[in-house]
Amino acid sequence: MSKTIIMTGNTAAATAARLCRVQVIAAYPITPQTSVTETLSQYVESGELPAQYVRVESEHSAMTVCISASTVGARAFTSTSSHGLLYMHEQLHWAAGSRLPIVMCCVNRGVGAPWSIFNDQQDSIAQRDTGWIQLYCRNNQEIIDTVIQAYRIAEEVYAPVMVCYDGFVLSHTMMPVAVPQADMVDSYLSPYRPHTILSPDNVRNINPVMFAVLRKNSAGVLCDGYMEMRYKLQEALEKAREVIVEAGRKYSELTGRDYREMLWSYQDKDAEIILTGMGSIASEATVAVDMLREAGIKAGVVGIRVYRPFPRAEVQKALGKAKAIIVLEKDISYGYEGALCSDIKAALYGTAINAPLHNIVAGLGGRDVKASEICEAVKKSLAEMKGQESRFKTHWLNCRQ
């Protein structure tokens, strides 16, 4: 059972953390994330959430608190945006390398210079190689559902999870959200079982310097070196594919909302033209697809819900019959193209899929992205694709060039 409430994306994230009964919250304000931790502070102050609310002096410290709390066995949560996420960069590596199941919401916002408080996904994309699982939400319902699933995923594979959603576009927009009952979430999540046990009777060093070669410990046991630890983290994220699907399947059974795949789709069954992207821009593309179909173009959308680990097999299957592929994204890997575009190309390399592919960079720094503009950009790309020299191209939507 659930109760439908009109709420912002940030309230949805905070509500999910409360339902997951987080025990430690590390808080530092930054637009447009601030109201996530403000709402959680109200839950803690009122006694609705029995947790330790730790106010820190920076985002670097916020992640440090989460690392410490998770290490000693507490379920930890934080959220941030933009430069706050970048300031955490060092500690993101420490959290992943320590194999700690921390969940963090990244409320996507552009990064400077120049300053912008508005949305794009450059912040989380810039942290894609830190060892965190990355999940992207297209609406407020997905925010609450994804945070809940994130704890199950993180605590099974012992890897941190970043739940990403677009600042202001979702964080401050009111939408109907079906809020699960607390007992349902309790049945879905098992208590966190830490893999480190701290006790005066079992003294140990945590995260000591590791050498390049294998070495025996004081008991004569041959222990892993640095490279083995990196290999195991990579294997954990590869394993996470199955865990994410199973966590989504179980959650779907409890709620009736479908999270059984790492992708989502719209009008793709007979589609010849596939639009793909992450977050709210992919959601906007569904409206553009309706417009394209009215114009006689068989278009569909394949949304990327899970970005790390990258769903390569699922992408290959979803795009297998496409005659043209359009990748929409709110980021740029400077000197090349959008990051998602590169990953999709890599996933298709070596397969029989040889459809022309155009990359549309849009919405940087909060610039509006209308469905009608996506529709016209797709038509332009389709016209260009008829020429062999334009099979692969990057366009900037609504940008003076």
Percent of the chain with pLDDT over 90: 93
Q: How far apart are CA 321 and CA 307, in angstroms?
A: 22
Compute the distance between CA of residue 35 and CA of residue 31 in angstroms, rounded to an integer.
8
Distances (CA, A) of 300 to 163, 326, 381, 391: 25, 10, 15, 19
Q: What average pLDDT does this structure show over 346-357?
A: 97
Give per-residue burial for 170-195: e unless 16+ CB within 10 Å, then b. bbeeeeebebbeeebbeebbeebebe
The encoded tokens of residue 364 equal 């940087």
pLDDT digits (tens, 9 = 90+) for 175-186: 999 999 999 999
Three-state SS sequence of 82-133: HHHHHHCHHHHHHHHHCCCCCEEEEEECCCCCCCCCCCCCHHHHCCCCCCCE
Mean predicted lDDT score pLDDT of the chain: 96
Q: Which domains does the chain have, with CATH numbers?
A: 2-193+246-250 (3.40.50.970), 263-396 (3.40.50.920)
pLDDT of 237 over the 90 cut: yes
Contacts of residue 297, defined as CB under 8 A and 6 or more positions apart, other chains included, come to 272, 273, 378, 379, 382
Residue 195's pLDDT is 86
Q: What is the mean pLDDT of residues 86-112?
A: 98
Q: What is the mean pLDDT of residues 164-184?
A: 98
Can you give the pLDDT at residue 301?
A: 98
Query: 378: which 2 tokens?
Result: 């797709």
* CA dihedral angle for residue 284, residue 264, residue 10, residue 42, rounded to 10 degrees: 160
Q: In this structure, what are the phi and psi dihedrals at residue 288, rounded to the nearest 5 degrees?
A: -60, -35
Q: With a cut of 90, say whether residue 57 has pLDDT above it.
A: yes
pLDDT band with cut points at 50, 70 and 90 for residue 47: very high
- Residue 337 has a pLDDT of 98
What is the mean predicted confidence (pLDDT) over 179-200?
92
Dihedrals phi, psi of 357, to nearest 5 degrees:
-135, 125
For residue 197, the model assigns a pLDDT of: 75
CA–CA distance, 164 with 152 (Å, rounded to integer) = 17
Query: What percentage of residues in the chain have a pLDDT greater than 70?
Result: 100
Q: Which of 12, 318, 274 is nearest to 139 (CA)?
A: 12
What does the pLDDT look like over 307-340, one tens digit per residue? 999 999 999 999 999 999 999 999 999 999 999 9
pLDDT for 210 equals: 87
Q: How far apart are CA 243 and CA 294, in angstroms?
A: 39
Phi–psi pair at 239, nearest 5 degrees: -65, -30
pLDDT tens track for 353-373: 999 999 999 999 999 999 999
SS (H, E, C) the chain: CEEEEEECHHHHHHHHHHHCCCCEEEECCCCCCHHHHHHHHHHHHHCCCCCEEEECCCHHHHHHHHHHHHHCCCCEEEEECHHHHHHCHHHHHHHHHCCCCCEEEEEECCCCCCCCCCCCCHHHHCCCCCCCEEEECCCHHHHHHHHHHHHHHHHHHCCCEEEEEECCCCCCCCEEEEEECHHHHHHHCCCCCCCCCCECCECCCCCCCCCCCCEECCCCCEECCHHHHHHHHHHHHHHHHHHHHHHHHHHHHHHCCCCCCCEEEECCCCCCEEEEECCHHHHHHHHHHHHHHHCCCCEEEEEECEEECCCHHHHHHHCCCCCEEEEEECCCCCCCCCHHHHHHHHHHCCCCCCCCEEEEECCHHHCCCCHHHHHHHHHHHHHHHCCHHHCEEEEECCCCC
pLDDT, one tens digit per residue, over 80-97 is 999 999 999 999 999 999
Residues 62, 28, 49: CA angle, nearest 5 degrees: 85
The structure tokens listed for 397 are 């939507």
Residue 389 has pLDDT above 80, yes or no: no
pLDDT at 388 over 80: no
